[in-house]
Amino acid sequence: MRLFDPDGLIAGSPDPAPGSAAGPGSPGSGAAGPSVAPGPTRRLRMVVAYDGSRFRGFAAQTGAKPPRTVAGELARAITKVAGHEVRIVCAGRTDAGVHARGQVIHVDVTEALDPASLARSLNSMLGPEVVVRSAELAPAGFDARHSATERSYRYLVYESPVPDPLLAAMSWHVEGPLDLRAMAQAADAFVGEHDFRALCRRPPGAGRDEPLVRRVTDARWSIVGVPPELSDARYEDAVPARLLRFDVCAQAFCHQMVRSMVGLLVLVGRGRRPAADVPWLLASGRRQSGVPLAPASGLCLVSVDYS
């Protein structure tokens, strides 16, 4: 049994089948209300967006005074509307401070609850910090975690001689200049199937030699640009500041994988490590203390694919 899985809310616990209700004390359940739904249930699929700045991650936590989490807030709100406790399962469990535009969850609720009405109620209660972008009946057999075929993350780097307070909550300020061509070359080495032990936090209970193989289908940098009001930020050689975007897609990710990838790529961009180091680092299978972990604020779960 795996004790940790960064791509699911709860690892090692079977999801209840559609039509069944979560019991009292079940992971992700609401804090109050009846322990079972009054009658038959049906599974809803929701796409959720949130600003993760003030949350201790997505997954609900236990304890006398559990920290504030996205799943905890969603579960309490859904419980209040539905009148029974719920168990939330997500496609990708995000860490403290990480944002989402396209997080996908499923939840089993009473058949009498209309998905659109539920979404409106949740947005009224939780928005704008947490927003349900869509809510619909899930297809037969749908599981937000296990049915996912690809997850896409985005990381923003604000390359500027000075930080900007309006971008701080959604990006990593890096005093460039950065060699974007070298960073793009280094990112190419991530594409394909690799053992990412060198860039991931080891799951509890995993052996030192246990591989963490993931297949990355895309890893690329692009220039987003800078809002006009920030265009006056320039380096001494008149090079303007810019907002850089790193997009990476994979079927699954291990813990801290994307943030470590970005940290390594920024080292390359600063000229502190050559792009050729990336294949060597992956092949080593050992986490390197010299690779910085990029701040959580720049990371966002953009979308989850179920094709």
Q: How far is CA 289 from CA 4, 85, 165, 205, 282, in A?
A: 23, 43, 29, 21, 14
Q: How many angstroms separate the CA atoms of 73 and 132, rounded?
A: 12
In DSSP terms, which residues pair with 234 in a beta bridge? Answer: 240
Tokens representing 96? 């403290």
Give me the pLDDT at residue 61, please. Answer: 86
Query: In whole angstroms, what is the distance from residue 92 CA to residue 103 CA?
Result: 7
Please, which residues have CB within 8 angstroms of residue 229's CB and are 6 or more apart in sequence? none
Please give the Cα distance from 130 to 75 (Å, whole number): 12
Q: How far is CA 103 from CA 136, 203, 265, in A?
A: 14, 22, 25
In order of 55, 159, 230, 269, the CA distances from 179 in angstroms are 33, 11, 21, 4
CATH numbers and ranges of domains, the chain: 1-148 (3.30.70.580), 150-305 (3.30.70.660)
Catalytic residues: 95
Give how far Cα 230 sits from Cα of 159, 234, 235, 245, Å: 12, 9, 13, 17
What is the pLDDT, as a whole number, of residue 266? 97
pLDDT at 27: 39
Q: pLDDT of the chain along its 307 residues, tens only?
A: 333 344 443 332 333 434 433 333 333 433 333 336 677 899 999 999 999 999 999 998 888 888 999 999 999 999 999 999 999 999 999 999 999 999 999 999 999 899 999 999 999 999 999 999 999 999 999 999 999 999 999 999 999 988 999 899 999 999 989 999 999 999 999 999 999 999 998 877 777 778 899 999 999 999 997 666 665 555 555 567 899 999 999 999 999 999 999 999 999 999 999 999 999 999 988 877 678 999 999 999 999 999 8
**Beta strand 172-174 with 150-159: parallel, antiparallel or unpaired?**
parallel
* pLDDT for 129: 97
| pTM, 2 dp | 0.85
